[in-house]
Amino acid sequence: MGCSSTSWTSLPISLFLLLMFTIARQYALETEDEQINTMKLSEVLDKLINNATYDKRLRPNYGGKPVDVGITIHVSSISAVSEVDMDFTLDFYMRQTWQDPRLAFGEVDLGLPNKISSLTVGVDYLDKLWKPDTFFPNEKRSFFHVATTHNSFLRIDKDGTVYTSQRLTVTATCSMKLQLFPMDSQRCKLEIESYGYSTADIHYALKEDGLKTEQLELPQFGLTDTDCKDVIEKLDSGIFFHSFSNPYNMHIFR
On whether both 30 and 148 belong to a single domain, the answer is no
On whether both 89 and 169 belong to a single domain, the answer is yes
On whether both 20 and 125 belong to a single domain, the answer is no
On whether both 38 and 98 belong to a single domain, the answer is no
On whether both 190 and 236 belong to a single domain, the answer is yes
Answer whether residue 90 is part of any domain: yes
Answer whether residue 238 is part of any domain: yes
Answer whether residue 75 is part of any domain: yes
pLDDT band at 169 (very low <50, low <70, confident <90, very high): very high
pTM over 0.75: no
Answer whether residue 60 is part of any domain: no
On whether both 224 and 152 belong to a single domain, the answer is yes
Q: What is the model's pLDDT at position 248? A: 45
Say how many domains are in the chain. 2
Answer whether residue 34 is part of any domain: yes
The tens digit of pLDDT for each residue in 198-208 reads 888 998 887 76
Report which secondary-structure segment, H or E, holds 16.
helix 2-48
For residue 102, what are the CA distances in angstroms to 46, 56, 68, 109? 13, 10, 15, 20
Answer whether residue 59 is part of any domain: no
Q: How far is CA 41 from the centre of its chain?
A: 21
The tens digit of pLDDT for each residue in 204-225 reads 887 767 677 766 766 676 666 6
On whether both 35 and 108 belong to a single domain, the answer is no
> What region, left, alpha or beta, does residue 136 occupy, with left being phi > 0 and alpha being psi -120 to 50 degrees?
beta
On whether both 31 and 110 belong to a single domain, the answer is no
Supply the range of the domain harboring residue 124: 67-252
b (16+ CB within 10 A) / e for 195-226: eebbbebbbbebeeebbebeebebeebebeee
Answer whether residue 54 is part of any domain: no
On whether both 25 and 105 belong to a single domain, the answer is no
Answer whether residue 184 is part of any domain: yes
